[in-house]
A = this chain, B = another copy of it.
Amino acid sequence: MKEKVLAFLKEKDGYCSGEEISHKIGVTRAAIWKAIKKLQADGYEIESSTKKGYKLLLAPNIVTSSEVKEHLRTECLGQMIHYEKEIDSTNNKAKELAREGAEEGLLVVADKQTNGKGRLGRNWESPEGTGIWMSLILRPKILPQYASQITLVAGLCMCETLKAMTGLEASIKWPNDVVINGKKICGILTEMSAEMEGVNYIILGIGVNVNMTVFPEELPYASSLALEGGMEYSRKAIIDDFLERFEKEYNSYKQTPNLAGIKERYEQNCITLHKKVKLIKNAEEIIAEAIGITTDGALKVRYEDDTIEDIVSGEVSVRGLYGYV
Contacts and interface: CB of A to CB of B under 8 A. Distances in A.
Interface of A: 119-120, 143-145, 147-148, 151, 175, 189-198, 200, 312-315
Nearest to A148: B196
Contacts of A198: 120, 314
A200 B121 CA distance: 10
Contacts of A175: 196
Contact of A144 (B120, B194, B200): B194
A196 B314 contact: yes
Main SS class of interface, A:
mixed
B197 A143 contact: no
A145 B193 CA distance: 13
Contacts of A148: 144-145, 196
A120 B143 CA distance: 12
B147 A144 contact: yes
B196 A315 contact: no
B194 A312 contact: no
Nearest to A189: B195
B144 A196 contact: no
Contacts of A151: 196
B143 A144 contact: no
Interface-centre pick from A196, A197, A200, A313 (highest chain B CB count, 10 A): A196
A293 B119 CA distance: 34
A148 B194 CA distance: 11
Nearest to A119: B197
